[in-house]
Structure 1
Amino acid sequence: MDTVAPTGARARTRRAILDAAVSVLSKNPAASLADIAVAAGVGRTTIHRYFPERTDLLTAIGVYLLERIETATVRARLEEGAADAALERVCQEYFELGDVLQFAFENPQMQEWTDWETETEADKALERLIRRGHAEGTIDPALPPSWVAETMWALLYAAWQHTRTRQEPKHSALNLCLHTLRKTIRTG
């Protein structure tokens, strides 16, 4: 498996393979590595150079997803402004990861990936944000941080499904998600 973080063209190729894999496997979990290679615009041998086995590819997708969540968390600037506003920003950032997150949630092969259970820096930052919201009074302190986080993820999933199954525009689904989140976390 590719253990060194690639740079430049190698990083772009790796990212193209991972994005193609998510796209192809979300439509057909039994798709071959050759199908993924075609979608990524690379040869099958290139896929095998990066990911010798299918399990290596699935593991890399999981790591890639966690990296994207971490990047989205940083972009949300959780330390700035009121905690409830920062929670909305992180929700907006995570919403943009819908395709890859839905793939991970719905793909039985990804459920075997044990790193899902590891607490990440993004998880810790989200918990700190919610605790700050409790202290400043912008997030109901009766709602434990784990409940608020799980509620946010459930609302995101509902918004992604709403766009997929009802062909709702993404901005409308995100607005519904944020509106419901605001009403859920409000104090009083």
Structure 2
Amino acid sequence: MLETIKEDDSVLDLGCGNGHFLHEIQKRGHKAALLGVDFSLPLLRDAESSGGVEFREIQLSKLSEYSNQLLITDNWSLITCFATLHHIPSHEIRLDILKTVKNLLSKDGKFILSNWQFLSSDKLKSRIQDWEKVGLSKDDVDEDDYLLDWRSGGEGLRYAHHFSSEELFTLANQVDMRVEAEFLSDGENGKLGLYQIWR
């Protein structure tokens, strides 16, 4: 994927975490703007320690409120959102984020996103928990919303929405974009990440 990014493409990474993706682009002699946004201050501090790329603390669920702050360049050539959108609760909020992405992209810009396909793993399916653990019922959440136990760095619970390919095609259409390509990657079975490229 890195090979497809031109040195003059401006790149906005939503849910950038520790900034690894943007730093990899930078190492290739990138010349255009690189901006990563995330809500996690500890991860952003790790990202900034490498220098050379700009990072900002932003709640992705309120992306539309911050859109003017993200235009540090003309509209973006590429916006990425890897393994992040599925952790945003509410169809309406996800749709608002995607509308903002569309508005932030340049005319010929593209949006690359990946979403967790945890239902394709028996191991991950076994981690699905009852909503009652957090005082909710299935009626309180959207269809295909799940609660999973999380064991990385301690024990906890994590919200995740399971996107089907069809749902993502519908969302792209709702924000006046089209899906240009789709593929599965990541994980032991190579099927834990559903990637799409939108224009």
Instruction: Provide TM-score, normalisation by structure 2.
Output: 0.26
Higher strand share: 2
**Larger Rg: 1 or 2?**
1
Higher helix share: 1
